[in-house]
Structure 1
Amino acid sequence: MQKVTMADVAKLANVSKSTVSQYLNKRYEYMSEETRRRIAGAIEQLQYRPNVIARSLKQKSTATIGVIVFNILHMLTTQVLRAIEDMCQQHDFHVIVCNTDDDPEKEKKYIDMLWAKQVDGFIIFPTGKNVDLYKRMIEARLPVVFVDRTVEGIDVDAVLLDNERAVQLGMHYLIEQGYKHIGLVAPPFAPHVIPRTERINAFRYALREANLPIKEEWIITEQVKHISGRLDALLQRNKLPEAIFAINDLTLMEVLTFVKRRQLTIPHDIALISIDDVPFASIYTPSLTTIAQPAFEMGEKATERLFMQMGGEISPQMFRLAPKLIERDSAKKRGDKGE
């Protein structure tokens, strides 16, 4: 089948090629409604598809951004992605999403691939392990925004939750409700994973500030799939804490799995609070008290900063967005448990 060209569209619509080009680029200032209607009709009749590569070479823009996430299964990730996609639609930009599974080798391959495709900018949930590559991106003046994490020595825009404030909200609430023996569940400690590090450190600080015991056996930093087993071991020794703070949605799911399997009652047997307001939090029985991340705002801010970088030189900034405590039933005031 012979390829349909812009000249074919112009001939059928009885206009010049430059007028068709202006239409495709949405420059309608000096174009009558009748001309726009004819061009649109010709495009539809001929099933014309513009040569995106040729247009990108001419305009020096692919109208595409690359988004690299470390775990697409996280609630935060999916919500941030939705906000990015919405913002890009408003700018007639496309989004390519890549998932690294927090693997620096996969991250490097994806960055190289997207760079070769000449995307106009990157929004990255960084693994933190490709420092030299990040530096080369900055030296090449590629627009880059980090989300959820920062990387030491890399001066780019970054959009994160105020993790210390999030933990403070949760811990103050649990303590106000009368809980004194509080545990935490988290994935393994990793210095380069900023939210994890900040939340674990803030948890310890909150206990010290309240003069509450810090028991290492209650601070479970473990591969997510093994958290339930660690809680089982505590239960068998009658050593469960009164309340558990889950630092994200994936660790929350493991705690709920443990509670269901052991037929425990929340909050009577164990109270529960988590960061990330999961969709089922309000309909779970009992409803789950959570600290919500402003995920959509994070995505919007990251995209806004990226487009600002594309528009010209700006100074990199770090943005810490505020969490919100959503009080429900899973961490309500303790009843009399023999104290």
Structure 2
Amino acid sequence: MKRVTMQDVAKLAGVSKSTVSQYLNKRYDYMSEETKQRIENAINILGYQPNIVARSLKQKKTSTIGVIVANILHSFSTKVIRAIEDFCNDNDFHVIVCNADDDPVKEANYINMLRAKQVDGLIVFPTGGNLELYEMMAAQNFPLVFVDRIIDGLLVDTILLDNEKAAYLAVEHFVNYRHTRIGIITTSLNRKVTPRIERIEGYKKAMTHFGLPIVDEYIKGVDLDYIQNALHTMFSLKEPPTAILAGNDLVLMEILKYAKEHSINIPNDLALIGIDDVPFAPIFTPALTTIAQPAFEMGKKAAQILLGKIKNEHREQARIHRFPPVLIVRETT
């Protein structure tokens, strides 16, 4: 089947090829409603589809961005992605989402693939394992925004929760309920992932502020597959914790699973707070007390900054953009 061209549309609409081009690029300044209607009718009759590749080469942009998320299983990540997609859709940009599975090799492959596809910019939840790639993009002034994780020594706009404040709010709430044996569990600390490190630091600062001892056995940072073992070790102590802060939503689910399997009553035997307001928190029994991240606001901010860079409208020096956490009190404390 012969491909329908812009010239075919122009001929059927009775206008010039340049007028059709102006219509497709939404430049209507000197175009009558009657002309626009004729072009639209011709496009519909012929089934014309613009050659996006040719247009991209001519305009030197694809109106497409890439989002590389460290782990798409986190509810926070999916909310951020949704906000990014919403904002980009409103601004006629397309989004390609890739999941790195916390694997630096996979992340590097996605960065190279997306750049080969000529995306106009990237929003990355960095694994932290591709410093040379990050540095190269920054040196090239390639539009780049990080989410959730800081890469030390690299000046890139980064969207981040006030993680220390989040942990402080949890400890403060536990203390208000007269808990003194308070623990924290998060996923692996091996790559020094920013939220995990900062949440433990915030926990320690809060414990010190309230005059409570910091017990090393109450602090765990392990791979998700070993959370159950870590919990078993913690609850085998002579004086196990009576309250635990779950560092993220995946850890929270592991704690709930352990409590169910070992007949630990929440909150009577164990008070529990999770960072990330998971969708099932208000309908779980008992309803889960959580620390919420403003994920949609964070995703929108990331997209705003990136599109501003792409359009040369964002000229501020790169910095870390912190967002405040919110304690949502329910029934598990």
Where on the TM-score scale, by shorter chain, does this alignment land: which range? Answer: over 0.9
Structure 1 contact 231–240 (Cα < 8 Å) conserved: no
Unaligned runs of 5+ in 1: 332-339
The residue aligned with 1:99 is 99
Q: Tell me the secondary structure at the aligned position of residue 317 of structure 2.
A: coil
The residue aligned with 1:336 is none
The residue aligned with 1:334 is none
The residue aligned with 2:319 is 317
The residue aligned with 2:226 is 226
Alignment pair present for 1:187 and 2:187: yes
Partners in 2 of 1:261 and 1:34 — Cα distance? 70
Deviation at 1:147, TM superposition (A): 0.5
The residue aligned with 2:136 is 136
The residue aligned with 1:274 is 274
Unaligned runs of 5+ in 2: none
Q: Deviations over 1:65-100 (max 9, x none)?
A: 111110011111100000100110111000111111
Aligned pair in 2 of structure 1 residues 107, 191: CA closer, same or farther (>3 Å)?
Answer: closer
- The two structures have a TM-score, normalised by structure 2, of 0.96
Q: Deviations over 1:250-281 (max 9, x none)?
A: 00000011111122211001110010000011
Structure 2 contact 128–191 (Cα < 8 Å) conserved: no
The residue aligned with 1:163 is 163
Partners in 1 of 2:221 and 2:317 — Cα distance? 36
Partners in 2 of 1:194 and 1:37 — Cα distance? 54
Equivalent positions of 1:1-339 (< 5 A) are 1-190=1-190, 192-236=192-236, 239-312=239-312, 313-331=315-333
Q: Percent identity?
A: 53
Deviation at 1:314, TM superposition (A): 3.4
Aligned pair in 2 of structure 1 residues 251, 84: CA closer, same or farther (>3 Å)?
Answer: same
Partners in 1 of 2:187 and 2:332 — Cα distance? 22
Partners in 1 of 2:203 and 2:11 — Cα distance? 69
Partners in 1 of 2:165 and 2:233 — Cα distance? 31
Q: Deviations over 1:232-265 (max 9, x none)?
A: 3444556431011001000000001111112221
Aligned residues: 331
Partners in 2 of 1:95 and 1:286 — Cα distance? 38
Partners in 1 of 2:31 and 2:177 — Cα distance? 66
Deviation at 1:186, TM superposition (A): 0.8
- The two structures have a TM-score, normalised by structure 1, of 0.94
Partners in 1 of 2:328 and 2:113 — Cα distance? 41
* Range with greater deviation from structure 2 (99-108 or 274-283): 99-108
Structure 1 contact 308–314 (Cα < 8 Å) conserved: no
